[in-house]
Amino acid sequence: MGIMTPKQVLNMCAEKQVKCIDLRFNDLIGTWQHITIPISELHEDTFEDGIAFDGSSIRGWRSIHESDMLIIPDARTAFIDPFMKETTLVLICNVQDPITRQDYGRDPRNIARKAEAYLRSTGIGDTAYFGPEAEFFVFDDVRFDSGPNFAFYKIDSSEGAWNSGKEEAPNLGYKPRHKEGYFPVPPTDQLQDLRTEMSMNLEACGIKVERHHHEVATAGQCEINYRFDEMVRAGDNMMLFKYIVKNTALKHKKTATFMPKPLFGDNGSGMHVHFSIWKKGQNQMYGDGYAGLSDIALYVIGGLLKHAPALVAITNPTTNSYKRLVPGFEAPVNLAYSARNRSASIRIPVGSQKPEAKRLEFRCPDPASNPYLTFAAMTMAAIDGIQNRIDPKEPLDKDIYDLPPEEKAKVPSTPGSLEQAITNLEKDHEWLLKGDVFTEDVIATWIEWKRKREIDHIRLRPTAQEFALYFDV
């Protein structure tokens, strides 16, 4: 995405013979929404005046009696959509109240913008950089349905280890075994060309790709890494990343999912987030402490670890997230930090020895999260850690699985369910309210939505495995 002014956007539209403008914004839960206007409806003053729409049906947003909203296009986000039949320019938007012209409090992008502003106001730093690594699966078929007397899902992939004996006329083998997808060359890796096409589409839209590869799980688990960016831009990039991955797969009659744990018995998909705070061009994370960290970086770790039991209600926001966050699957369930231990929730990457590269890697989040909320909440936990000089205690450099039981019991873990995480958020969220970044309204709406629309939906329904365990009792 190029950095442009409204006038430059209009010039680009003329140069590229753009026919349509697609205006996108984010619902509270984390899905891109859009409306499309003809090019004749885009003017310079549109970037100031915005375009009215009905916000009553957007998840987690307003009720029907106060539904009118404005979307304000951000010229800096312009890019040409690589999938639309007619040449279409995309603009990511902020959301405002049409009466007061105030930024809407439940707009996730506005929350991230407020977090950036609050960071600057504290004097701690002027920029927070985020480099998320979102894993995903590419499947050939997925079916699911449920009712009062049935429920099922079935996933299939030409790569799936379970298809080694399938009649495929002919079956050519080369199915990655469970936990052995990281990362043999083709023909075992059947998705090389697809990932390359995804990467080229990302580059065409302004996202600088650094590498791509197959991931650990069988059945098409992948990762594409791209360059870090400032908080709001990093949120924009993640939304675009997911859009391009899904639509490139669709073009090839495949389907991509960022669901954290779609397969039983193999690795889930995480979104490790690399994080650093800068001030006046200086990386505030670099110092002469443990693993080359500064005192500020250690306080950041302290804040993240202290608030992690509540923070994961935002960074790991689905019931399915907690089927990934379990011990034994390289999942970062241990609320500790380490320069080497990948089971620790915070790692200091080995390749971050230079001052400009020093950063933390928060390994808990998953790609089902809303990136704007995830990055904003991480920043708020970091600021609280710095302001209160929260001690992260000693690093966990031993292998957690080799620790004696008495030592292992002292290492706190992430919550075991979304319900536990939401309860923790309910009790511990004052740090999110500073600077009016997250509001009580946003927190209450998030908690109510998760409990009523997700947690209750899951806990009230029997599963196939319960029939296997309990039908003959």
d(CA 297, CA 284): 7
d(CA 23, CA 93): 7
DSSP summary character for residue 40: G
Q: What's the gap between Cα 101 and its chain centre?
A: 29
Active site residue 223: yes
User: Of 133, 189, 229, 454, which is the active-site residue?
Assistant: 133
Active site residue 272: yes
User: Of 233, 274, 307, 363, which is the active-site residue?
Assistant: 363
- Provide the token pair at 101: 């012209």
Q: What is the largest CA-CA distance in the chain?
A: 71
d(CA 326, CA 416): 8
CA distances, 153 to each of 22, 221, 320, 456, 460 (Å): 34, 18, 14, 19, 17
User: Of 140, 159, 223, 366, which is the active-site residue?
Assistant: 223
AA letter at 433? L
User: Of 361, 384, 419, 454, which is the active-site residue?
Assistant: 361
What are the b/e assignments for 324-347, b being 16+ CB within 10 Å?
bbeeebbbbbbbbbbbebebbbbb
User: Of 177, 227, 342, 459, which is the active-site residue?
Assistant: 342
Q: Are 409 and 146 in contact (CB under 8 A)?
A: no
User: Of 27, 107, 116, 215, which is the active-site residue?
Assistant: 215
Active site residue 406: no
Interstrand relation of 221-226 and 209-214 (parallel, antiparallel or unpaired): antiparallel
User: Of 106, 195, 212, 272, which is the active-site residue?
Assistant: 272
AA letter at 69? M
Q: Is 435 left (phi over 0), alpha (psi -120 to 50) or beta?
A: left
The total number of residues shown for the chain amounts to: 473
Active site residue 215: yes
Q: Are 324 and 335 in contact (CB under 8 A)?
A: no
User: Of 74, 107, 135, 229, which is the active-site residue?
Assistant: 135
Active site residue 342: yes
Active site residue 143: no
Active site residue 307: no
Q: Are 322 and 316 in contact (CB under 8 A)?
A: yes
DSSP summary character for residue 187: T
* Residues known to be catalytic: 54, 133, 135, 215, 223, 272, 342, 361, 363
